[in-house]
Amino acid sequence: MRIMKPYTKNSLGKIKGPNNSIDVFTKLDTTENIDVSVVKAFGEEWKKFSVHQEDSVIELRKEYFDIIDETMVNKDTYMIDIGCGSGRWTEYFIDKAGFIEAIDPSDAIMVADKMVGQKSNVRLTKASVDTIPWEDETFDFGMSIGVLHHIPDTKQALISCVKKIKSGGYFYVYLYYRFDNRGILFKSIFHFSNLLRWVISRMPQRLKKITCDILATLVYWPLAKITALFYKLKWNKLARRLPLAAYYNKPYYNMRNDCLDRFGTKLEQRFLRSEIEEMMKGAGLTDIKFGETAAFWHAVGRKG
């Protein structure tokens, strides 16, 4: 197992988590490439969805990590999870990697400390993409799952992340897609849902959470069940076309979590596959490989 490397920046202080004392490097202000209101909303979101439910990650793991293999992550890998949230994906790699640094600027880091803080090969740090407290070229593998589209300058954020990866190492990213592989109806539904997001994300916390639970129950869950039925009837083509079809095999817990993620966040950006590829190349990645099935888009590249 690899030994973690010391911080190369001065810590601004420490906060007490359930298992560890966690160093803080983010000031959470406009000097960083960060949207403070988004980060606060995520702190609330992950407190609400802090209970780790195994069935809520099983299908998602298959979707996200279908393009990761042992040449990228193995027992010698020193890795970083950027924007780790509750730590659910950090946990997935605990038995696969050598040592994992998991960072997040929000209070979700406390939830992550509860989930993975007792493991000997994980360290949690309260930091943002702009305040990653290690030298450039430190990590063999880095990942940022569902994070960089919630940051004002996604392109620059990706550059900041990839800088921390060693030459020959890998960086994995999942960014919201701009429905480039969908038809006009799907895109129109999205525009309507975006209006809803504008309203819901500005609601007071409690009302926002209740509204998202209602949406999950009245929209996500029925559509997921209809999709499952279509698959059962072997109407696969039709099933795949339904909005929210990806939830057909996911538990209700995921729907509530993702609904709050989707509608509770003020800043959300979406990208075409070609734009993501261009940003990854611009950040210094080569041999870029995209996942060809949901979640769209997830991709990994090697630092040249």
Ligand X SMILES: C[S@@+](CC[C@H](N)C(=O)[O-])C[C@H]1O[C@@H](n2cnc3c(N)ncnc32)[C@H](O)[C@@H]1O
φ and ψ of 103, to 5 deg: -120, 150
Three-state SS for 290? strand
Q: Pick the binder of ligand X from 102, 147, 162, 260 (CB under 6 A).
A: 147
The residue (of 39 and 97) whose beta carbon lies closer to ligand X is: 39
Q: How many residues does the chain have?
A: 304
Q: Is the dihedral of CA 51, 296, 109, 45 positive or negative?
A: negative
The binding track of 253-272 with respect to ligand X, each residue x by CB under 6 A or -, is: --------x-----------
Binding of ligand X by 84 (CB under 6 A): yes
Beta strand spans in 152-198 (E): 165-174
Asked whether the beta carbons of 44 and 64 are under 8 A apart, the reply is: no
How far apart CA 188 and CA 112 sit, in angstroms, is 36
Instruction: Specify the pairing of strand 13-16 against strand 21-24.
Output: antiparallel
Least CB distance to ligand X at residue 241 (A): 26
Site residues for ligand X, 211-250, by CB under 6 A, read none
Closest residue to ligand X in the complex (CB)? 85
The residue (of 157 and 224) whose beta carbon lies closer to ligand X is: 157
Least CB distance to ligand X at residue 138 (A): 16
Asked whether the beta carbons of 263 and 197 are under 8 A apart, the reply is: yes
The residue (of 88 and 303) whose beta carbon lies closer to ligand X is: 88
Binding of ligand X by 151 (CB under 6 A): yes
The residue (of 87 and 239) whose beta carbon lies closer to ligand X is: 87
The residue (of 240 and 270) whose beta carbon lies closer to ligand X is: 270
Q: Comparing C-alpha atoms, which of 197, 247, 194, 196 is closest to residue 220?
A: 247
Q: Alpha carbon 300 to chain centroid distance?
A: 14
Of the listed pieces 78-86, 118-126, 178-186, 294-302, which binds ligand X according to CB under 6 A? 78-86
Instruction: Tell me what percent of the chain is helix, strand and coil, each rounded to the nearest 5.
Output: 45, 20, 40
The residue (of 24 and 239) whose beta carbon lies closer to ligand X is: 24
Of the listed pieces 6-14, 140-148, 200-208, 282-290, which binds ligand X according to CB under 6 A? 140-148
Asked whether the beta carbons of 65 and 87 are under 8 A apart, the reply is: no
Q: In angstroms, what CA-CA distances link 233 with 39, 136, 223? A: 42, 52, 15
Of the listed pieces 3-11, 113-121, 139-147, 217-225, which binds ligand X according to CB under 6 A? 139-147
Binding of ligand X by 104 (CB under 6 A): yes
Site residues for ligand X, 25-64, by CB under 6 A, read 33-34, 38-39, 42
Q: Pick the binder of ligand X from 117, 146, 264, 301 (CB under 6 A).
A: 146
The residue (of 32 and 230) whose beta carbon lies closer to ligand X is: 32
Say how many C-beta atoms besides its own lie within 10 A of residue 227's C-beta: 23
Amino acid identity of residue 2, one-letter, is R
Binding site for ligand X (CB under 6 A): 33-34, 38-39, 42, 82-86, 88-89, 104-106, 108, 128-129, 145-147, 150-151, 261
